[in-house]
Structure 1
Amino acid sequence: MGQLDWEGMGRDEQIEFLMDEYGEEIKRLIYTYVKDHPAAEDLTQEIFITIYLKLGSFAGKSSIRTWIYSVAINKCKDYLKSWHMRKITVQENIKELLKSSRRGPQDEVIEKLESEQLVDLVLKLAVPYREVILLYYYKHLSIKEVSEILGVSESTVKVRLHRGREKLRMPLEQMERGEVNG
């Protein structure tokens, strides 16, 4: 995306453009945090309202995408701090997975279970490790972009990525050996 002519656009045009450009991407990012589609949709709306209200404060020190990601991640963190239903949602996802196991081929079920377990492992990481893994591996952002979004140094991002991978290593090796809890 090229540089926008912010002065030439009205605020309504700006937010409309940003929603078209980043709406789905932000909703997917939010879903990686909250793992609930209705909540992700509600948060996406809240985030774009916040962006609309704060457009005048965007200083251009980073890209607009980085700024929007920062707003979105901060909203997600606030939501997760106040949200005590996370374990229930994960349990519901596992129940849904088990229901599907009765309908599909066994290999497909095992693959889904392993995928769900990987997501669950990532979601169980402490927020500093979880967010760098989600942004780096799932959103394919560079270390520099992750650094800007989270407001930490690039070396901090690298350390958190390393430690996050280390925390995932043993459970992943157990999954590969077929030592699946269930």
Structure 2
Amino acid sequence: MDKSEKDDILEKVMIEHGNELVRLAFSYVKDKETAKDLVQNSFIKCYKNIDSFRYDSQIKTWLSRITINECKDYLRSRNYKMERIKYFIKNTARTVLPSTEKTVLDKYKGKEIKDTIFSLPKVYREVVYLYYYDSLTTEEIADVLDIPVNTVKTRLRRAKQRLKPMLKEAKFNEG
């Protein structure tokens, strides 16, 4: 297949399926710009591999599979996990009451809690963050991290066991 044929096919599929693929990617990553980037990557892969497409299925199905794989790769990536941790850090220190004293105390307490959580090994930090701060279910965490559900449950249990004495020592349980 020559370059102009590939260009024509790519242009056609981008017009016909672009918006639908962005919605598909958004359902995985929950961020519009990231979804657009992932679909762009999918189109690049489509262009590079169009010669190997066997037409056993519709091109839309093939593009959807490429997009889903891009999303899953992204969700497993270090960049994604670091973005989630940054979001966690940024939002943990927010306060509920506007008083200056309360704000200072809450920020200090929030920093100590974050420091305590960040002292955990990475495998425990991830599940604690996703479970308590992102409110994901154990099944969703398993999907995001690409690990079995029972592994998520074990890591949560072990993280709680490690955090409990650390938080008591830091006197977080006092009113």
* TM-score, length-scaled by structure 1: 0.52
Letter in 2 for 1:144: E
SS of corresponding position for 2:41: helix
User: Are residues 1:142 and 2:137 paired?
Assistant: yes
CA distance in 2, matches of 1:78, 1:139: 12
Larger Rg: 2
Task: Provide Cα deviations, 1:143-178, integer angstroms capped at 9, x if missing partner.
Answer: 111112212111111110011112211221133368
Which residue pairs with 1:39 in the alignment?
none
CA distance in 2, matches of 1:164, 1:26: 29
Structure 2 gap ranges (5+): 1-12, 44-62, 94-98
| Contact residue 15 and residue 52 of structure 1 kept, 8 A | no
Q: CA deviation at 1:22?
A: 6.8
Map 1:9-88 to 2 at 5 A: 10-14=16-20, 16-17=22-23, 25=30, 45=34, 48-54=36-42, 56=63, 58=65, 68=71, 71-76=74-79
Q: CA deviation at 1:123?
A: 2.7
| Contact residue 122 and residue 130 of structure 1 kept, 8 A | yes
Which residue pairs with 2:101 in the alignment?
106
**Residues 71, 173 of structure 1: alpha-carbon distance in 2 compared, 3 angstrom cutoff:** same
| Contact residue 21 and residue 64 of structure 2 kept, 8 A | no
**Residues 127, 133 of structure 1: alpha-carbon distance in 2 compared, 3 angstrom cutoff:** same
| Contact residue 11 and residue 52 of structure 1 kept, 8 A | no
Letter in 1 for 2:120: L
Structure 1 gap ranges (5+): 1-6, 28-43, 81-85, 98-103
| Contact residue 25 and residue 38 of structure 2 kept, 8 A | no
Task: Provide Cα deviations, 1:58-102, integer angstroms capped at 9, x if missing partner.
Answer: 379xxx6xx84762341427869xxxxx9xxx9xx9xxx9xxxxx
CA distance in 1, matches of 2:24, 2:103: 38
Which residue pairs with 2:112 in the alignment?
117
**Residues 116, 125 of structure 1: alpha-carbon distance in 2 compared, 3 angstrom cutoff:** same
Q: Percent identity?
A: 22
* TM-score, length-scaled by structure 2: 0.54
CA RMSD of the aligned region, Å?
4.2
Map 1:85-100 to 2 at 5 A: none
